[in-house]
Amino acid sequence: MNDPYLNAQSQLRSVAKLIKADEEIINKLSIPDKLLTLSLPVRMDNGSIRTFIAYRSQHNNSRGPYKGGIRYHHLVNEAEVKALSMWMSWKCAIADIPYGGGKGGIIVDPRELSAAELERLSRAYVRAIAHDIGPDLDVPAPDVNTTPQIMDWMLDEYIKVSGNKSKATFTGKSVDNGGSLGRTEATGYGGVYVMEELLKAEKVKKDNLTIAIQGIGNVGYYFASLAHKNGHKIVAISDSKGGIYNAKGIDPKLALEFKQKEGRLSGMEGTKIIGNEQLLELKVDVLVPSALENVINADNADKIKARYIIEMANGPITPEADEILFSKKILSVPDVLANSGGVTVSYFEWYQNIHNEKWSKEEVLKKLKDNITRAFKQTYSKRKELGVNMRMAAYALAVAKVIEAFKKQEL
């Protein structure tokens, strides 16, 4: 199995050569500033006490407070949170928002817990990290299997423990509790803004453009929804159990309604059942991996037939696959740029909380579109300048920004 942290370090070393970065600084940036490993005793509904292992990785804060989600998943591990915190540093730098990278997680299958147990676990996590977070220190957010409700519990516990009443310590909260309008759609919509800017730059006509999307969670669904609304043809969509295909196009709203009713996508009227591997290898214009890490790797990269890839999942392509795709002239927009809409709107939420403002959804999405298209143009231009793939171009811009900020700090 690919180690995401080794992948992240490998990418950093590659970009260091490209930008001729100081080796001592790269050594520093290849390791998180701080890693919290926690054991959380939580009382279960039956009166027993169960102990959960949890993490918070704080990668680098040269450009601002650490920023990153908290995931609840049975496969959470140290390597994953360290890698994701590093990628968050680059993502914030590319998006040009004043944050560094952080990431957290608890090893748990949340489906096994009652709502009351989930709340007690969430509050236990906050008590354990309370001294290491805050509006100017580390600003957590939702991630896999965490929700606005969980952020609300966490904020409430943080206020109790710290006495700091600022709502800006957590983002991704419910709208009634200081959350931002537009946050739910932000990551998926941001990916579509990036895709449309790419098509413009590549002079691709959008008539009959075909898209395959792996994953119909929050990110995949909102990507599909806006792409469909903007006239693009979604020919394939999948969930963890498999996918569906229709050459004439699929309405994502109807697909989601079917999945919610039946618990799966397969069997939807007018569609053909396909596997997740098949979906990745379809001959489409745009492939959108928006589910898991490492789905495009050395074993299947040569079978990818899409012209363009928009990486909406974190780390969906391994470094070995990157080289194969580049040699095939497949242009992939990296995760740190393509899915930066979420963290960008998280920043907007933090800003609104600090300044006691409330922006309309239209204002939020307009600011997001302006921000992410500017970041895309800079990266696309850097790619041409350096003659590298989009990931290396994005990293070259991001790592240089972090190094510049790091050098300004007194050591």
Where in the sequence numbering do the catalytic residues fall? 103
- Element spanning 355, H or E: helix 341-355
Helices 361-386, 390-408: axis angle to 10 degrees equals 100
Reading the block at residue 103, the tokens are: 């990431």
Please answer whether residues 86 and 45 qualify as being in contact, where contact means their C-beta atoms are separated by less than 8 angstroms: no
Dihedral, 259, 113, 153, 189 alpha carbons, nearest 10: -20
CA of 219: how far to CAs of 183, 215, 227, 251, in Å?
11, 8, 12, 16
Please answer whether residues 285 and 330 qualify as being in contact, where contact means their C-beta atoms are separated by less than 8 angstroms: no
Reading the block at residue 164, the tokens are: 């700091």
Reading the block at residue 112, the tokens are: 């096994």
Measured between alpha carbons, how far is 379 from 396 in angstroms, rounded to an integer? 9
Alpha helix stretches (DSSP H) within 101-251: 115-129, 148-162, 183-201, 218-229
Q: Which residues contact 272 (CB under 8 A, 6 or more apart)?
A: 244, 245, 246
Closest CA to 317 of 292, 285, 286: 292
Q: Within 10 Å of residue 362's Cβ, how many Cβ atoms? A: 10
CA of 289: how far to CAs of 145, 151, 238, 313, in Å?
18, 26, 10, 6
Measured between alpha carbons, how far is 347 from 210 in angstroms, rounded to an integer? 33
